[in-house]
Structure 1
Amino acid sequence: MQADHLLTGRVLVWDGAPLRDGRDVARIEEDWGVLIAENQIAVTGPADMLRQAAPDVTETAYGRDLICPGFVDAHVHFPQTRIIASWGKRLIDWLNTYTFPEEMRLEDPAYAAAVAGEYLDLVVKHGTTTVASFCTSHPASVDAFFEAAERREMRVYAGKTCMDRNAPDALCDTAIRAYDESRALIERWHGRGRASYVITPRFSPTSSQDQLEALGALWTAHPDCLMQTHLSEQIDEVDWVASLFPDARDYLDTYEAVGLLGERALFGHAIHLTPREIDRIAETGAALVHCPTSNTFIGSGLFDMGGLTARGIPFGLATDTGGGSSFSMLRTMAAAYEIGQLRGRALHASELLWLATEGSAEALHAKGRIGTLAPGAEADICVLDLASTEAIAQRTRQAETVWDEVFATIMMGDDRAVRSVWVAGERRI
């Protein structure tokens, strides 16, 4: 075995999905290691065994730190990096006051490149190694994002945000332009290195029937792409959709009727769903993406993790930068726990970590590739210091189990808890 590096410490192992299969399918093994070879996980197992298997390899010993998969953020808006944590607006006002003016600035390729690089560097510092992002309606913003990710060797998913109404003229395209520009971007970027293109209508209120139909046709022509959009984030948004699409059975039907519903679909938020919508999402295998800090920050509502889990629907977890108020998946896990408490479903630390890693990878149809330390996975790794601050350390000293230690870091941790980050087998932090 020609190994490149050995990381040793405590290692997080998935034997299943804790959210569906129970907590026992998650293990944290003491004095274990992860052997990296050619940018992939070669072997995971007891540290002594790996030292014997690769006696000459360089070892980085993390001691009591937790070696886990790099975090996977399944729904972000990188163009909103510089307006994160803007005060006091709900969804539609947020778009008009903050989002659209900032997104217009990304028509400038230099500005788009600066924001893309800034965003990716920020998330890596927080332990995130993969994101699925909305870009702006400008193809240059998509190029800027994929180019920045390519330089950093990051696995990313992204697409041009398509809109042809209810937005400033400078951000609107047309049905034909949305199709043609998206198709050209697919040809340029999809499957290039670690890049995957995602067909991206912003949401039904900003796309005409013609544009949604065009994007449905594009997805039919490129079925290996993912499709991402928003669904039922706020009640007034749901009412707005009903007024714009009077013949639709519900919000989901505005997508379903034009071929934008299927197992490779990602619907962000999905808080105010009807029984029919839940049935169709479950039947088609589409994934939902929980955005807890965003849902509380702009007052959207409380995601029903327990009820939707019972229907077998796949989930991702996401910061939703910049409606979401943090770049940190640790903070996002903490918010998911808090929302779960309000809905009567207290998520265990193992469930939260799974959502932020393999759960999001599963939603992105990348299970086995990212979000895990299993052999054959890409070597994207986050190492967490479980006593990163005085406040966390004093709690850790009282912990009865390792999961108590992990939970304290989830609830109180920030970028200081991120000891190290490896991307494509190379240490970046």
Structure 2
Amino acid sequence: MPLTRKAYRAAILHSIADPAEVGIEASYEYFEDGLLVVDDGKISAVGHASELLPTLPTDIEINHYQDALITPGFIDTHIHLPQTGMVGAYGEQLLDWLNTYTFPCESQFGDKAHADEVADIFIKELLRNGTTTALVFGSVHPQSVNSFFEAAEKLDLRMIAGKVMMDRNAPDYLVDTAESSYVDSKALIERWHGKGRLHYAVTPRFAPTSTPEQLTLAGQLLTEYPDMYMQTHISENLKEIEWVKELFPERKGYLDVYDHYQLLGERSVFAHGVHLCDDECARLAETGSAISFCPTSNLFLGSGLFNLPMAEKHKLNVGLGTDVGGGTSFSLLQTLNEAYKVMQLQGARLSPFKSLYLATLGGARALRLEDRIGNLRPGSDADFLVLDYNATPLLSYRLKQSKNIAETLFVLMTLGDDRTVAQTYAAGALVHQR
């Protein structure tokens, strides 16, 4: 048998709990001179190098990184594969932006060559930015999901994706039907869900683009496959919320539409939630549903400021999302830079350890995968990053002034980007090297 055990030595930091629940000091583990031991794609030990080194065989390969920090791989709980080609599109709020840029861009994904090309670019961007797991919207075309999963499977990545269900209020060239969306989704589930480290998400785009018949069938899929994910959008934009009220006048509000069609649950992730009320947060928490906080996108599209303290009050699971192409960066470090500002604008503080939690363990909890990803505990998948303190001249100079790991972490999140990620590992394999 070839020796598959390897060790990685550097400063090591990971979240072990939500700072909002246990306090900052009890929320993380930090090893200034740490060692991470990996066996067959899983973490077998993490701790102080001085304590672990004597327990290892003398011939083990040890990768020793100077001026670097090892963290868990980042988890992006909301992103759109087909919008890669229109990221950074100018000048619109949500509904106009969809019609002007998004729908035309998504129309190309029935073509396998195009879908394959974008899937390749998309996955390389994720890994370059240190994202090892993402919850991904495809387009309305099954091919978008097939291309994405084929590319992810080759690298043994833990990824979740689904074909968009959309049977109204979109261009004719981009709608399915309630029945076809059910049949296509079912075929994709049978082909991909649970294959390797891949999972499927039932994906109604958002309430305005699905008829009651389609939402009923989305709920039926979740009943037929109880371990399935569900992803959609909610309360992103005030005009969108008014539109939902017009389309579903019989429902109490936006969340109640999804609730009525039985789309809330332990693996349901709702993107944005900028304009949720207290009752809606309570209902999401009660059903075990999660929110994906997408600060870059919410600022870029002028949608509003997500109320993280309200979510914390209700113990609602929250992950972080880049929402490319509404968001303008694949980098969760840059997304956290924006998250900090969103909290500042509301007179709230976002500690660097809460930020780390949102990008790693919080995302894993939102996806109910905290036993596999999001931390570096023994038994977890070996999905981790090496962050380079000398990635840019400014970062290098600034970190030399840092007095502790809290300051270092915060500087990485304000000055860091894709260049900061020196290496990305998935299931113990090197999948990106800067």
Query: TM-score, normalising length from structure 2?
Result: 0.97
Question: 1:321: Cα distance to partner?
Answer: 0.8
> What's the Cα RMSD here?
1.3
Equivalent residue number for residue 102 of structure 2: 99
Q: Which amino acid aligns with 2:68?
A: D
Equivalent residue number for residue 9 of structure 2: 8
Show the 5 A alignment for 1:127-142.
Answer: 127-142=130-145
Matched, 1:79 2:79: no
Question: 1:15: Cα distance to partner?
Answer: 3.3
Equivalent residue number for residue 364 of structure 2: 361
Equivalent residue number for residue 54 of structure 2: 52
Show the 5 A alignment for 1:22-421.
Answer: 22-24=23-25, 25-54=27-56, 55-421=58-424
SS class of match (2:110): coil
SS class of match (1:218): helix
Rounded to whole Å, the distance in 2 between the matches of 1:334 and 1:17 is 19
Rounded to whole Å, the distance in 2 between the matches of 1:22 and 1:119 is 36
Could you tell me whether the CA contact under 8 Å between 1:35 and 1:42 is conserved in 2?
Answer: yes
Rounded to whole Å, the distance in 1 between the matches of 2:255 and 2:84 is 28
Task: Flag as ranges the 4+ runs of structure 1 deviating above 4 A.
Answer: none
Q: Which amino acid aligns with 1:109?
A: K
The CA deviation string for residues 263-301 of structure 1, in whole angstroms up to 9 with x for no partner, is 221000001113331221122121001000000000000
Question: 1:375: Cα distance to partner?
Answer: 0.4
Rounded to whole Å, the distance in 1 between the matches of 2:155 and 2:325 is 22
SS class of match (2:298): helix
Could you tell me whether the CA contact under 8 Å between 1:39 and 1:424 is conserved in 2?
Answer: yes
Could you tell me whether the CA contact under 8 Å between 2:119 and 2:151 is conserved in 1?
Answer: yes
Could you tell me whether the CA contact under 8 Å between 1:70 and 1:357 is conserved in 2?
Answer: yes
Could you tell me whether the CA contact under 8 Å between 2:14 and 2:72 is conserved in 1?
Answer: no
Equivalent residue number for residue 19 of structure 2: 18
Question: 1:20: Cα distance to partner?
Answer: 2.5
Could you tell me whether the CA contact under 8 Å between 2:202 and 2:229 is conserved in 1?
Answer: yes
Rounded to whole Å, the distance in 2 between the matches of 1:425 and 1:72 is 16
Question: 1:385: Cα distance to partner?
Answer: 1.4
Bigger Cα displacement from structure 2, 9-18 vs 419-428: 9-18
Question: 1:219: Cα distance to partner?
Answer: 0.8
Q: Percent identity?
A: 44
Question: 1:199: Cα distance to partner?
Answer: 0.5
Rounded to whole Å, the distance in 1 between the matches of 2:16 and 2:365 is 14
Rounded to whole Å, the distance in 2 between the matches of 1:278 and 1:420 is 37
Q: Which amino acid aligns with 2:112?
A: P
Could you tell me whether the CA contact under 8 Å between 1:3 and 1:35 is conserved in 2?
Answer: no
SS class of match (1:144): helix
Q: Which runs of 5+ in 2 are unaligned?
A: none
Question: 1:52: Cα distance to partner?
Answer: 2.4
Could you tell me whether the CA contact under 8 Å between 1:3 and 1:57 is conserved in 2?
Answer: no
Q: Which amino acid aligns with 2:224?
A: A
Q: Which amino acid aligns with 1:103?
A: E
